[in-house]
């Protein structure tokens, strides 16, 4: 009887161990150890270096491989976030959407992995998340970017840091010369590429499939996704892309020569024309100095290396990496496009901006009254921020593409203004992280989180958001179907067909 009991106990122990997610594995730089979640079904590895610290002589250089380490690296906490202004909640963005206030450091090139794999042999699909923040702020450590819930659905979730602001996008003639590529700037995009290369080389050790990687991001993270899809350096590193609220088919990326002028202006602020003068300054001093330049000085550059042409031309000439796509916007994105105008002001703006197309524009975006003008501005703001570019992207894709508009209004936080479907509000629904966002959630919120995160997980697994338990999300084609994500998902063919025709004629 005792032998039977002992045997049964051993079987139970073996079963328990086999049900646990792997806890320790090896990367090409050394061994890493993570921590289990409460039921040991997911292991998180936080703070894995994917590149050498970009400090000293490596400031404003393409990322170098991480230095190998001996022993086992304990990966149980997030790394420092990139240097930026002190992160603080503001407007609609409560602390769950904001980088931790500290630590901030140039030494920030680390990533985080959440895996449900029990062994390295499972070959699970992978989602790599790129944060937003206007290219001047952000962190992989934001609460709403937690990867545990999606990992429980059978994928591996990876979040990455990248350099922002002056450290991520400074161009200068000296940097162009020393690069060996006749290019400078775009270090943030090169960081993202380095993370993708790390995934290609190492994710199998975490139970992932390096050939089933999807990239996703929101706002500046979405513009980054678009830039990576446009870059020839990304070829073969991912098979799908998800772009939340951010895309452009205009002259979004600066010319290298214009970006170099900004860098030269910055060195002149320290009475020099030499990049060494800036390299010798502490990081905080460089950041403060750069903050005296106009907003938008540091952003993606048409450098001839990462981006061989402006992004719009790359897509319109079908030179991009043609991968499966989910792209869309939130109806509150328009709030970022400027102060509302009266009907008279909007008409004057249309006349000044599109002198030959004013009447055509105002037919699609009418301004008979101030209220009508406000509605038109909201629609135009959303379509200019992402919608029209998403339409062009999907139209020029041969791979399956799916477009959405997020219009669900999250439950109010008591004592807090209702900002509606605000910019970034869809992220916790897609990433299944409402539990990380402190609000008195209702059934309707959880229902949206369930169907939206399921669509996203399906796409990561198969390249299609669909399964038998959800309303069919038809791929984008001549009928221009857009999935409206509200209390229930509703497919709306031709939702903005008239507006897209007008925007095509004026762009």
CB-side exposure of 444: number of CA atoms within 13 Å? Answer: 10
**Given the DSSP bridges, would you call strands 110-115 and 156-160 parallel, antiparallel or unpaired?**
antiparallel
Q: Give the pLDDT confidence of 45-57 residue by residue, as tens digits.
A: 999 999 999 999 9
pLDDT bracket for residue 253 (50, 70, 90)? confident
Mean pLDDT of the chain: 95
In the predicted structure, residue 215 carries a pLDDT above the cut 60: yes
With a pLDDT cut of 70, the percent of the chain lying above it is: 96
Banded model confidence at residue 339, pLDDT cuts 50, 70, 90: confident
Residue 98 within any structural domain of the chain: yes
pLDDT confidence band for 340 (50 / 70 / 90) = confident
Report pLDDT for 5.
Answer: 52
| 8 located within any domain | no
Confidence of residue 14 (pLDDT cuts 50, 70, 90): very low
Residue 181 lies in a domain: yes
SS3 assignment for 370-439: HHHHHHHHHHHHHHHHHHHHHHHHHHCCCCCEEEEEECCCCCCCCCCCCCCCECCCCHHHHCCCHHHCCC
Structural domain contains residue 17: no
**Mean pLDDT throughout 182-211?**
99
Domain count, the chain: 1
Residue 122: both structure tokens together: 């499972």
Task: Name which of 289, 50, 49 is nearest 170 in CA terms.
Answer: 289
Report the C-alpha gap between 122 and 226 in whole angstroms. 29
| Beta carbons within 8 Å of 156's beta carbon, 6+ residues apart | 113, 114, 115, 116, 117, 124, 125, 126, 127, 203, 206, 207, 208
Q: Is the pLDDT of residue 4 over 60?
A: no
The C-alpha atoms of residue 464 and residue 455 are separated, in whole angstroms, by 8
Domain with residue 256: its CATH number is 3.40.50.1820
pTM of the model as a whole: 0.95
Higher pLDDT, 62 or 253: 62
Q: What does the pLDDT average to over 280-292?
A: 98
Tell me the pLDDT tens digit for each residue of 77-86: 999 999 999 9
> Could you tell me the two tokens for 15?
């079963």
pLDDT grade for 439, boundaries at 50, 70 and 90: very high
Residue 292 lies inside a defined structural domain of this protein: yes
pLDDT of residue 18: 56
Q: Is residue 2 part of a domain?
A: no
- Structural domain that includes position 493: 23-506
Mean pLDDT of 360-377: 95
- Asked, for residue 1, whether it belongs to a domain, the answer is no
pLDDT of residue 249: 87
Residue 14, domain member (yes or no): no
Q: Which pLDDT value is given to residue 10?
A: 44
Q: Could you report the per-residue pLDDT of 87-136, keeping only the tens digit for each?
A: 999 999 999 999 999 999 999 999 999 999 999 999 999 999 999 999 99
- Please say if the pLDDT value at position 312 is more than 60: yes
């Amino acid at each position: 009887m005792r032998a039977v009991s002992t045997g049964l106990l051993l079987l139970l122990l073996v079963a328990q161990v086999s049900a646990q997610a792997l806890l320790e594995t090896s990367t090409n730089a050394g061994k890493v150890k993570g921590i289990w979640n409460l039921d040991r079904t997911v292991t998180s590895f936080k703070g894995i270096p994917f590149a050498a610290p970009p400090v000293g002589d490596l400031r404003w250089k393409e990322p170098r491989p991480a230095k190998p380490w001996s022993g086992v690296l304990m990966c149980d906490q997030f790394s420092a976030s990139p240097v930026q202004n002190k992160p603080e909640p503001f407007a609609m963005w409560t602390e769950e959407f904001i980088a931790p206030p500290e630590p901030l450091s140039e030494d920030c090139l680390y990533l985080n992995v959440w895996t449900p794999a029990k062994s390295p042999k499972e070959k699970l699909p992978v989602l790599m998340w790129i944060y937003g923040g206007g290219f001047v702020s952000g962190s992989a450590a934001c609460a709403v970017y937690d990867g545990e819930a999606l990992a429980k659905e059978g994928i591996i979730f990876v979040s990455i840091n990248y350099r922002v602001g002056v450290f991520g996008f400074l161009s200068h003639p000296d940097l162009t010369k020393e690069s060996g590529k006749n290019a400078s700037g775009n270090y943030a995009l090169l960081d993202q590429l380095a993370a993708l290369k790390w995934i290609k080389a190492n994710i199998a050790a975490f139970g992932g499939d390096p050939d089933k990687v999807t990239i996703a991001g929101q706002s500046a993270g979405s513009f980054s996704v678009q830039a990576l899809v446009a870059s020839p350096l990304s070829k073969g590193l991912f098979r799908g892309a998800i772009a939340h609220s951010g895309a452009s088919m205009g002259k979004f990326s600066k010319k290298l020569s214009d970006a170099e002028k900004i860098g030269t202006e910055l060195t002149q602020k320290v009475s020099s024309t030499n990049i060494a003068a800036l390299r010798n300054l502490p990081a905080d001093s460089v950041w403060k100095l750069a903050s005296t330049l106009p907003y938008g000085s540091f952003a993606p550059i048409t450098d001839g290396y990462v981006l061989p042409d402006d992004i719009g031309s790359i897509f319109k000439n079908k030179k991009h990496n043609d991968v499966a796509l989910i792209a869309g916007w939130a109806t509150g994105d328009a709030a970022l496009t400027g102060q509302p105008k009266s009907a008279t002001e909007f008409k004057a703006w249309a006349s000044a901006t599109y002198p030959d197309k004013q009447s055509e524009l105002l037919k699609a975006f009418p301004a008979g009254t101030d209220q009508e003008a406000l509605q038109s501005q909201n629609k135009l703001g959303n379509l200019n921020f992402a919608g029209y570019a998403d339409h062009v992207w999907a139209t020029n894709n041969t791979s399956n593409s799916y477009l959405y508009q997020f219009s669900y209004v999250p439950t109010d936080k008591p004592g807090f203004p209702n900002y509606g479907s605000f910019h970034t509000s869809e992220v916790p629904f897609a990433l299944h992280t409402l539990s990380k966002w402190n609000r008195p959630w209702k059934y309707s919120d959880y229902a949206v989180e369930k169907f939206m995160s399921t669509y996203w997980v399906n796409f990561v697994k198969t390249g299609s958001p669909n399964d038998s338990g959800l309303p069919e999300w038809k791929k984008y084609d001549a009928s221009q179907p857009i999935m409206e994500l509200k209390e229930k998902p509703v497919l709306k063919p031709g939702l903005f067909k008239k507006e897209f025709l007008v925007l095509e004629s004026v762009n």
